Chains A and B, each alone.
Chain A
């Protein structure tokens, strides 16, 4: 019908393999590239977690399956202390910057934003391609750092100087330099991505798609992008200073020559805390999309959620020092930071309650995406609530840098990244790949993941309350920590089973990719614009540019019958 569509169709056929799949400028292909990169890096991060978990349960005993790794990285399968610190550091760095961000923002942000706003592509497709290849390079640099003399960075993912500033303290030289370079490239990549997200949403929305009619996922993505762009500047500055300290003999962080190590902590956490929200929000965004579809109800309190998100975003900039309560900064400054930190629980309470209220009086269908969505909600509560302990400066005196923190942030991040990521994966898989995933295996995957995830991290709260410090190669050097060994053995066995639980997912994913049932346009009967495009959408997305007549969550309105209880955004409301 439209000439644009035919133009696109022929255009697509002319693309060479390289243009179509490798150096593509199509936001959907780029989204998938991010997805595969993130999945690969999750494997790397997961293997590092396995090494750590083994070490914590059975210190200094050989880790099964690693005997082949040569010295001095490992000694016949035994992790040496230097390498343990490198593993902790790289696990944290990779999970946050090379798994969470690529999957939640890179993959789903890229794939969904143009489709959800009814645009044919991102505002700057070439910039988009460049952002992927930049993070790809960043990943190569990060992984390469394991293989340089001295090994990978080992000063913790927070990279506090002086430890990170001078090789004499760690024996790691190139590793930390590459770590800084890798992170800098990653930041550059997401800066490009953020510009695209924002410009696309602001200037390329379909006719009639007012901001207050945007799907919440888009709101979450652009809020995340803005938070990222506003917070990353100071850290880039800080990283440049660190690089200069390491390579050019400056001393921004070296006390003997008038520097100050606390400067880094302020710059790092001014970015670091907002960064948590950068990955949290898209995870919650996926849940917010899925809940209305499978309870057949409008999302409860759309505007309240949007405003709460923005408020949380703003607050996230004035809480950074809660990571520094016992750092030696002025003790009178602490209370204001403690108050702002705990205040963030208010907007998140609103968002979580709105999610629950969406279930209320719904007609809930437990598909795999819905199970993961409810699971995310249920687990995120634990992450959020345990944050209050750490937000209270007083309780944090004792809890800071213990396993309580490790348990808390894994509950927060794994619920957002893993459970939220799987929510998105199972929900949008049909749109991304044009085929359905297997429901039964999806459910098996969900229950195993939920159970073992809790079995891994619940015991760690107790370890933390017992006073166990984080980042310890061998905790049982301390007498008062010896009684924790059973806890750690338990968590390690559970972690191995948690990894094993991802096998059903992997099989399901790759099997469905090629053999899954063909998906039609709108297999879940959802309203947002991406479901009005073919599955998978062609280059250029829509046959005709859509117009939007109402908000995204019109389900079960009084005038609808039970069968056709939804109203796609591109169709006028029936009266």
Chain B
């Protein structure tokens, strides 16, 4: 409805936004109702000559019903929000779908390093390619990320993907996304990580499939002659 979010270009971003809007409408109604009632009460029941306050202690169940019924409604809405959110949550943070593109993301003060397995498809070999602050991915492919950190906590945040995940030294935390549109976008760090935190900015390049193939050919070192096929058709 309102144009509040950065545009969404991930397959699951819409699910997250939908949960936001669901809460927004519920909470918005509660907000308007709550404030309106307060406003009404303070205007309607200002002290006036000759009118005395009612004596209602609210200890009887019949009186308390005014409170318990709304509270029960709140409880039901709460559980609704939890249910609606649960599915989207396991989609985003649960098992990573099958994918061909694997990238290791390493946060370190104050850069994002992106490591590609190189032509042999294996991490930890000589042909790995590490880029600073540049993540290149093809559109409409599941990108399988493994996040970690070399020093302190960082948080890998791609606003247009609705993806946020902390990076912790010593852990490999999985994350994934699938982009729906090509383009160039910003990657941020969302966890205070030192004086350069605000400069820890990376770029996400979402290429069309052909461009991505071209990019891998250009940037990935030519496969050592004897190794497996270069990762393209």
**Inter-chain contact A338/B6, CB cutoff 8 Å:** no
Tally of A-B Cβ pairs under 8 angstroms: 290
Between A and B, 30 residue pairs with Cβ closer than 8 Å are A88-B192, A160-B191, A295-B45, A297-B53, A297-B56, A302-B57, A304-B64, A304-B68, A326-B155, A326-B164, A326-B165, A328-B168, A331-B94, A335-B89, A349-B67, A357-B66, A360-B56, A362-B53, A374-B38, A381-B34, A392-B81, A392-B85, A395-B85, A398-B17, A401-B157, A465-B4, A471-B192, A474-B198, A477-B199, A478-B188
Residues in A neighbouring B37, C-beta threshold 8 A: 356
Query: Would B23 and A82 count as touching, CB distance under 8 A?
Result: no
Name the one of B16, B23, B47 contacting A363, with C-beta atoms under 8 angstroms: B47
A472 to B198, CA, bound (A): 5
User: A394 within 8 Å of B by Cβ?
Assistant: yes
What separation, in Å, do the CA atoms of A256 and B171 have in the docked complex?
Answer: 11
Top-9 shortest CB links A-B: A255-B170, A300-B58, A361-B54, A394-B85, A301-B58, A467-B159, A465-B4, A359-B41, A296-B53
Point out the residue from B52, B58, B185, B196 that lies within 8 Å of A562, measured CB to CB: B52
Q: How far is the CB of B98 from chain A (nearest CB, A)?
A: 18
Which of the residues A85, A338, A392, A398 comes within 8 Å of B195, measured between beta carbons?
A85
Taking a contact as CB atoms closer than 8 A, the residue among A154, A360, A462, A557 that contacts B55 in the complex is A557
Complex CA distance for A556 and B79, rounded to whole angstroms: 40
B67 x A353 contact (CB < 8 A): yes
Which residues in chain B, 1-33, are within 8 Å of chain A measured between CB atoms? Answer: 4-6, 15-17, 19-20, 23-24, 26-27, 30-31
Which B residues lie within 8 Å of A300 (CB)? 56-58, 63, 67
B182 at the interface (CB under 8 A from A): no
Q: Which residue of A lies closest to B4 (CB)?
A: A465
B-chain residues with CB within 8 Å of residue A553 when the two chains form the complex: 57
Interface flag for B226 (CB, 8 Å): no
In chain B, positions 86-104 with a C-beta closer than 8 Å to chain A are 86, 88-90, 92-94
Q: Give the interface segment out of B70-78, B115-123, B128-136, B210-218.
A: B70-78
* A298-313 interface (Cβ within 8 A of B): 298-304
CA–CA, A339 and B82, complex, Å? 6
What CA separation (Å) do A382 and B6 show in the bound complex? Answer: 24
Question: Contacts of A261 on B, CB cut-off 8 Å?
Answer: 153, 168-169
Q: Does A366 lie at the interface of the complex (its beta carbon under 8 Å from any beta carbon of B)? A: yes
Cβ B162 vs Cβ A398 within 8 A: yes
Q: Are A363 and B162 in contact (CB under 8 A)?
A: no
B181 an interface residue at 8 Å Cβ cutoff? no
Residue A342 interfacial (CB < 8 Å): yes
Which among B23, B51, B64, B197 is the interface contact of A395 at CB below 8 angstroms? B23
A85–B197 touching, CB < 8 Å: yes
- What is the CB-to-nearest-CB distance from A163 to chain B, in angstroms, rounded to a whole number? 4
Q: Is the CB of B153 within 8 A of A163?
A: yes
Q: Is A401 touching B38 in the complex (CB atoms < 8 A)?
A: no
- Whether B16 and A398, one on each chain, are in contact in the complex, defined by CB atoms closer than 8 angstroms, is yes
Contacts of B31 in A (CB 8 A): 381-382, 385
A328-370, CB under 8 A of B: which get 1 and which 0?
A: 1001001100110011011001101110111111111110000
* B208 at the A interface (CB under 8 A): no
Q: Judging by beta carbons under 8 Å apart, are B195 and A171 in contact?
A: yes
Q: Mark A394-406, 1 if CB is under 8 A from B, else 0.
A: 1101111110000
Asked if B201 CB lies within 8 Å of chain A CBs, one says yes
| Chain B residues with CB below 8 A from A350, complex form | 67-68, 71
Asked whether, in the complex, the Cβ of A260 is within 8 Å of the Cβ of B58, the reply is no
Known contacts A300-B56, A478-B201: A328-B195 contact under CB 8 Å = no
Q: Which of B177-233 contact A (CB under 8 A)?
A: 185-186, 188-199, 201
Bitwise, A542-575 to B at CB < 8 A (1) or not (0) is 0000000000010111100010010000000000
The closest CB in chain A to the CB of B86 belongs to: A335
Contact B92 A479 (CB under 8 A): no
Q: How far is the CA of A339 from the CA of B153 in the complex (A)?
A: 27
Q: A: which residues have CB within 8 A of B? A: 80-82, 85, 88, 154-156, 160, 162-163, 169-171, 255-256, 260-262, 295-304, 326-328, 331, 334-335, 338-339, 342-343, 345-346, 349-350, 352-354, 356-366, 374, 377-378, 381-382, 385-386, 388-389, 392-395, 397-402, 462, 465-467, 469, 471-475, 477-480, 553, 555-558, 562, 565
Given contacts A156-B192, A302-B59, A469-B188, contact A359 B42 (CB under 8 A): yes
Q: Is the CB of A303 within 8 A of B59?
A: yes
Q: Are A389 and B58 in contact (CB under 8 A)?
A: no
Q: A335-B86, A378-B35, A466-B4 are in contact. Are A388 and B27 (CB under 8 A)?
A: yes
Asked, given contacts A343-B78, A467-B6, whether A556 binds B195 with beta carbons under 8 Å apart, the answer is no
Q: Contact at A363–B52, with CB atoms within 8 Å?
A: yes
Check if B155 sits within 8 Å of A345, measured CB to CB. Answer: no
B59 touches A393 (CB 8 A): no
Contact in complex: A398, B164 (CB < 8 Å):
yes
Q: Cα distance A364–B89 when bound, in Å?
A: 47
When distances are taken between beta carbons in the complex, the residues of chain A under 8 Å from B58 are: 298-302, 304, 354, 357-358
Closest to A479 in B: B186
CB distance from A154 to the nearest CB of B (A): 8
Q: How far is the CA of A358 from the CA of B53 in the complex (A)?
A: 10
Cβ A388 vs Cβ B81 within 8 A: yes
Whether A262 lies near B168 (C-beta < 8 A) is: yes
The CA-CA distance from A394 to B166 in the complex, in Å, is 15
Query: What are the residues of chain A within 8 A of B185 when measuring CB–CB?
Result: 480
Q: Indicate if the CB atoms of A469 and B86 lie closer than 8 Å.
A: no
Contact of A469 with B165 in the complex, beta carbons under 8 Å: no
* B147 nearest in chain A by CB position: A328
* Contact indicator B16/A353 (Cβ below 8 Å): no
